[in-house]
Amino acid sequence: MKVEVDESRCLAVGNCALIAPEVFDQGDDDGTVVVLDAAPPEHTHETVRAAALRCPASVITLHDDTTPPHGA
């Protein structure tokens, strides 16, 4: 899985950092998304998908080898 984000449209709500803190954080300046691990390990995939689905601006795109990409 590869994680891609569009920081310019991020609303800094922090759902991703709440749901998958090992993969997402929020920047100190304006709270927008920071990806900690762009190729997260298998055991985090489920929470990463949940984080992408809960993003209110749909700025998280996942490229997955095994399942179709989420994030739309």
Going from the C-alpha of 40 to that of each of 3, 10, 11, 19, 54, the distances in angstroms are: 8, 20, 23, 14, 18
Beta carbon nearer to other proteins, 65 or 72: 72
In angstroms, the CA 9 to CA 55 distance is: 11
According to CB under 8 A, which one of 2, 4, 7, 21 is a site residue for other proteins?
21
In angstroms, the CA 45 to CA 36 distance is: 14
Segment contacting other proteins by CB under 8 A, of 10-18, 35-43, 62-70: 10-18
13 binds other proteins (CB under 8 A): yes
Where on the chain is the footprint of other proteins (CB under 8 A)? 11-14, 17-18, 21, 25-32, 53-54, 56-58
